[in-house]
């Protein structure tokens, strides 16, 4: 199915038909940078390296909004929504992705109940997304889809390209798989968790029940899960309380059973996890080679074959 595309200036329509309804859309004509890929890479990298608060996540950097100053301004529609009255916000609410052509971000949905505004700054990416009401099986307590190339039969699917200047609104809990095309890709995300309950879906229910359970098991949680709980959507407890306020004890406990029942899926999840690992190692190599250098001096590996 085609994804709707509307002008970023059509804010009223965006809010009514897409943002509040939690439906994806591509906003066109958001930000134009006349700079070349090299120039943008060089500037962003220099700033990331200098900024002590920037942190490298698995596949991207988390940075503060002002790191983008003079490179690309926050689109007005995003700026209005990044309001602490309306949304839970993290300090480093911008994610920056650098990916060479051939890179694949495997099937997953984003944690922390995040809405993502994804601006393609340079290059082109091909997205496939699936609605949270037609979910994929994920490995227990995770957001990673069990199989590498799951069947799309019976799913509500949208496939589309994001070109320079296009901004995707990807609502929370939508599954996505993303291929990078061309020499080098740079995309920027603004992320937030709205302070209202999600549009009902099986994935939204799963996330709320999983977090309800994790909140109750807090003292016993492994370090990684504890960290996610305490920093959920950038604020921890208030966000988890909001997310889980309608979860009943019976549903929360039943979730434990449902996730444990998925444990055998680990036996078929290896290729998907290897794919994730491969993307991760490739990104690490690229980021290392970019660190503090202009992109033109960096050794960007551009694997042509897209088979992990
Ligand atoms: O750009 C990509 O390759 C992946 C993006 C993504 O997973 C996200 O924005 O949540
Ligand atoms: Fe994602």
In order along its 308 residues, the chain shows pLDDT tens digits of 899 999 999 999 999 999 999 999 999 988 777 788 888 888 888 888 888 888 877 788 899 999 988 888 899 999 999 999 999 999 999 999 999 888 999 999 999 999 999 999 999 999 999 999 999 999 999 999 999 999 999 999 999 999 999 999 999 999 999 999 988 899 999 999 999 999 999 999 999 999 999 999 999 999 999 999 999 999 999 999 999 999 999 999 999 999 999 999 988 988 888 888 888 888 888 877 776 554 444 443 433 322 22
- What's the 250 CA to ligand 2 centre distance in angstroms? 30
pTM, to two decimals: 0.92
Pocket test for ligand 1, best of 60, 78, 173 (most atoms within 8 A of CB): 60
* Phi, psi (rounded to 5 degrees) for 254: -65, -30
Query: In 10 A of CB 196, how many CB atoms?
Result: 11
**CA 191 – CA 162 distance, rounded (Å):** 18
Q: Reduce the DSSP state of residue 228 to 3 states and report it.
A: helix
Q: What share of residues in the chain are helix, strand, coil (percent, to 5)?
A: 35, 25, 40
**CA 140 – CA 144 distance, rounded (Å):** 9
**CA 97 – CA 185 distance, rounded (Å):** 8
Query: Which sequence spans correspond to the domains of the chain?
Result: 5-195+275-288, 202-266
Closest ligand by atom to 127 CA: 1
Pocket of ligand 1 (CB under 6 A): 97, 99, 105, 110, 116, 118, 125, 176, 178, 187, 189
- What's the 259 CA to ligand 2 centre distance in angstroms? 21
The vertex-237 CA angle with 204 and 198, nearest 5°, equals: 20
Question: What pLDDT is attached to residue 291?
Answer: 64
Are 179 and 148 in contact by the 8 Å Cβ rule? The answer is: no
Question: What pLDDT is attached to residue 296?
Answer: 47
Q: Which of 140, 65, 133 is nearest to 96 (CA)?
A: 65
Burial of 15 (0-12, 13-18, 19+ CB in 10 A): middle
Question: What pLDDT is attached to residue 207?
Answer: 98
- What's the 165 CA to ligand 1 centre distance in angstroms? 16
In angstroms, how far is CA 170 from the centroid of its own chain? Answer: 8
**CA 167 – CA 26 distance, rounded (Å):** 6
**CA 25 – CA 13 distance, rounded (Å):** 11
- We find that the CATH architecture of domain 5-195+275-288 is Sandwich (2.60)
Closest ligand by atom to 59 CA: 1
Pocket test for ligand 1, best of 129, 187, 278, 282 (most atoms within 8 A of CB): 187
Sign of CA dihedral 90, 187, 160, 167: positive
Of all protein residues, the one whose alpha carbon is nearest to atom 10 of ligand 1 is: 110
- What's the 14 CA to ligand 1 centre distance in angstroms? 21
């Amino acid at each position: 199915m085609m994804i709707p595309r509307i002008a970023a200036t059509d804010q009223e329509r965006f809010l009514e038909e897409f943002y509040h309804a939690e439906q994806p859309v591509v906003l066109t004509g958001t930000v134009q940078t006349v700079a070349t890929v090299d120039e943008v890479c060089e500037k962003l990298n220099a700033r990331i390296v200098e900024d002590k608060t920037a942190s490298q996540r698995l596949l991207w950097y988390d940075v503060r909004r002002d790191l983008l100053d003079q490179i690309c301004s926050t689109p007005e529609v995003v700026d209005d929504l990044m309001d602490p009255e309306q949304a839970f916000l993290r300090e480093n609410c911008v994610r920056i992705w650098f990916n060479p052509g051939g890179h694949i971000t495997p099937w997953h949905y984003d944690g922390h109940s995040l809405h993502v505004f994804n601006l393609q700054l340079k290059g082109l990416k091909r997205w496939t997304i699936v609605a949270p009401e037609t979910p994929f099986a994920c490995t227990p307590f995770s957001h990673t889809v069990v199989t590498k190339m799951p069947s799309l039969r019976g799913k509500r699917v949208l496939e589309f390209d994001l070109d320079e200047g296009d901004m995707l609104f990807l609502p929370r809990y939508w599954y996505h798989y993303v291929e990078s095309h061309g020499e080098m890709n740079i995309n920027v995300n603004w992320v937030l968790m709205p302070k209202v309950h999600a549009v009902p879906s099986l994935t939204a229910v799963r996330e709320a029940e999983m977090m309800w359970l994790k909140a109750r098991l807090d003292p016993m949680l492994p370090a990684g899960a504890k960290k996610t709980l305490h920093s959920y959507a950038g604020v921890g407890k208030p966000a988890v309380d909001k997310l889980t306020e309608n979860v009943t004890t019976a549903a929360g406990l039943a979730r434990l059973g449902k996730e444990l029942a998925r444990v055998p899926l680990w036996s078929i999840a290896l290729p998907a996890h290897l794919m994730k690992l491969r993307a991760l190692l490739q990104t690490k190599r690229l980021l290392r080679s970019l660190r503090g250098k202009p992109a033109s001096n960096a050794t960007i590996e551009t694997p042509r074959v897209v088979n992990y």
